[in-house]
């Protein structure tokens, strides 16, 4: 999708759909004039309240506008950039449903951040357009369609244009381009999450990272089973025991042209399908466990976006990957494994596998790269969904500064997070009688004990954070106005790294 910026008058925008955004406070003052220009009665405002993301589709009178349709879209109070992002998501979703190819979105007038925020606003709207336009249809044959689709129906929008004031053109163009890049990186992550296990195994995940590195100029190294065995990554190897597919450990390394302002290591959980292993999951909903590599997808997307945006930080992405299957040779509850760090772990539950592969990757990242910041992203616990629901990720950090930075990035990116405690009193729940640690701490405080387990493998790193994205990474019921993978974490991580300029 082409995203551009224009100064054209509203009457001259020759598009399939023209979106006019209004906040609740501006609705009565500005909407009637805009509607009159389109030859539309202001009586329609009786049914439009301008809530964030609320949309009303209208048709202009003949000869009034060149646009074929008009969408009134609400920005709520209009005070946050995320309200505008939500509006753009709804406009793009409606455009995709209508199978229209060209959309214009008016962002003139009052906006959050004033003139200084023009670039950020344009970026958020562009991200929202990419998000709303996304469709995963690569596995549909079309053989059963009752009516043939238009030739370009599956392509969605071909163009999305932002209308701005002349004084803001330069900043808006920069922001829109950055938003397009982040939006495309998030769409790539969503594609990975939506692919089923028979289409995406560890090797496939590595190939996607390699292709991205070649295209955007950063190094990618893929360690395969023999090399993983040589490194004695006991966590990753133990989870892989029941699989017919070999594991991979992918390392992406983006280096900026100048001196890096910081070195950040991002670790993403890459379990391509999680059956639970011997501690098998219930069959209902198990198919959604194809999304258990959403952390890996977010990391790959974030590294690609950092390279394309030429962020002045060095970004190392690490993805340990395998599926978790209940084969006869699979690890068993009660087994004791030795991780890359040398720490031994009693396997209390084979469905607590993500923390085992992350343990090896975290230790490797700290030892090999000594990063300034160490962050892991994972669909780690159902307990996090119980605590925070399906819209918010849980974060844990041993650094108040880093936790605050991630929280701020969450507000700006629209990918919200909430901090949970890492108190030492939870350590006793992951103690083992036969090994250094147990990989499960029981039902109580499950998301916290998982984070405490991971912390043991950071080797005392002073600026580490764990982000549990189990809730917002995948929408099975359309609760986020979408179904399937969301790519949650890409925008969050990119916004976080932008702060380190």
| Residue 355: its H or E element | helix 354-369
115 is catalytic: no
User: Can you say whether the dihedral through the CA atoms of 89, 95, 99, 102 is positive or negative?
Assistant: negative
User: Is 79 annotated in some ligand binding site?
Assistant: no
Nearest Cα to 48, choosing from 61, 34, 62, 37?
34
Catalytically annotated residue among 24, 64, 281, 332: 281
Residue 45 DSSP code: G
DSSP calls for 85-108 = HHHHHHHHHHHHHHT--EEEEE--
Q: What's the CA gap between 214 and 93, in Å, rounded?
A: 32
β-strand pairing of 344-346 with 437-438: parallel
User: Is 269 annotated in some ligand binding site?
Assistant: yes
Catalytically annotated residue among 85, 355, 463, 498: 355
Q: Which two tokens stand for residue 376?
A: 């892991």
| Residue 216: its H or E element | helix 202-216
Nearest Cα to 14, choosing from 88, 65, 72, 73?
65
For residue 268, count CB atoms less than 10 angstroms from its CB and return exposed for 0-12, middle for 13-18, buried for 19 or more. Answer: buried
Q: What's the CA gap between 114 and 168, in Å, rounded?
A: 10
CA distance readout (Å), 76 to 91, 165, 219: 15, 22, 43
Nearest Cα to 241, choosing from 275, 282, 192?
275
Largest CA distance in the chain: 80
| Residue 418: its H or E element | strand 417-419
Q: What's the CA gap between 95 and 76, in Å, rounded?
A: 21
Q: What's the CA gap between 157 and 96, in Å, rounded?
A: 7
Q: Which two tokens stand for residue 51?
A: 């809530």
For residue 97, count CB atoms less than 10 angstroms from its CB and return exposed for 0-12, middle for 13-18, buried for 19 or more. Answer: exposed
- What residues contact residue 249 under an 8 Å CB cut-off, 6+ apart? 222, 223, 227, 228, 231, 233, 236, 318, 319, 320, 321, 360, 361, 364
Q: What's the CA gap between 133 and 94, in Å, rounded?
A: 9
User: Is 274 annotated in some ligand binding site?
Assistant: yes
85 is catalytic: no
Residues annotated in a binding site for Mn(2+): 269, 274, 292, 351, 353
Q: Give the catalytic positions in this structure.
A: 281, 355
């Amino acid at each position: 999708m082409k995203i551009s910026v224009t100064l054209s008058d509203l009457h001259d925008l020759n598009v399939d759909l023209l979106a006019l955004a209004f906040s609740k406070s501006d609705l009565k003052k500005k909407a009637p004039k805009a509607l009159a220009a389109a030859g539309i009665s202001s009586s329609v405002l009786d049914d439009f309240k301008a809530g964030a993301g609320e949309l009303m589709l209208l048709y202009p009178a003949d000869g009034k506008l060149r646009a074929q349709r008009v969408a009134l879209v609400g920005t709520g109070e209009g005070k946050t950039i995320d309200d505008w992002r939500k509006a753009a998501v709804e406009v793009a979703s409606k455009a995709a449903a209508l199978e229209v190819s060209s959309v214009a979105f008016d962002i003139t007038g009052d906006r959050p951040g004033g003139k200084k925020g023009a670039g950020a606003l344009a970026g958020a709207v562009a991200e929202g357009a990419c998000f709303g336009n996304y469709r995963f249809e690569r596995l549909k044959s079309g053989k059963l369609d009752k009516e043939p689709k238009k030739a370009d129906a599956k392509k969605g929008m071909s163009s999305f244009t932002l209308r701005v004031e002349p004084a803001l053109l330069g900043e808006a163009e920069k922001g829109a381009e950055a938003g397009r890049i982040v939006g495309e990186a998030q769409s790539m992550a969503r594609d990975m999450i939506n692919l089923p296990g028979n289409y995406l195994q560890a090797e496939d995940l590595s190939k996607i990272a390699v292709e991205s590195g070649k295209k955007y100029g950063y190094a990618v190294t893929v360690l395969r089973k023999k090399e993983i065995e040589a490194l004695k990554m006991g966590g990753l190897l133990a989870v892989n025991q029941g699989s017919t597919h070999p594991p991979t450990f992918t390392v992406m390394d983006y280096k900026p042209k100048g001196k890096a302002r910081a070195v950040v290591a991002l670790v993403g959980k890459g379990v391509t399908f999680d059956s639970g292993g011997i501690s098998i999951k219930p069959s209902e909903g198990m198919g959604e466990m194809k999304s258990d590599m959403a952390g890996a997808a977010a990391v790959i997307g974030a590294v690609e976006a950092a390279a394309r945006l030429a962020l002045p930080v060095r970004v190392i992405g690490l993805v340990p990957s395998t599926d978790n299957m209940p084969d006869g040779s699979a690890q068993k509850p009660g087994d004791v494994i030795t991780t890359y760090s040398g720490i031994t772990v009693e396997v209390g539950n084979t469905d607590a596998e993500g923390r085992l592969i992350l343990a090896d990757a975290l230790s490797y990242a700290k030892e090999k790269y000594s990063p300034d910041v160490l962050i892991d992203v994972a669909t780690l616990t159902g307990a996090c969904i119980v605590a925070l629901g399906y819209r918010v990720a849980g974060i844990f950090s041993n650094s108040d500064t880093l936790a605050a930075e991630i929280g701020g990035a969450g507000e700006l990116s629209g990918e919200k997070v909430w901090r949970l405690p890492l108190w030492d009193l939870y350590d006793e729940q992951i103690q083992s009688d036969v090994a250094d640690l147990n990989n499960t701490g029981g039902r109580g405080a499950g998301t916290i004990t998982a984070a405490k387990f991971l912390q043991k493998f950071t080797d005392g790193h002073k600026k580490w954070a764990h982000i549990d994205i189990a809730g917002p990474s995948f929408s099975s019921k359309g609760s986020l106005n979408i179904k399937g993978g969301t790519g949650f974490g890409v925008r969050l991580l990119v916004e976080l790294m932008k702060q380190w300029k």
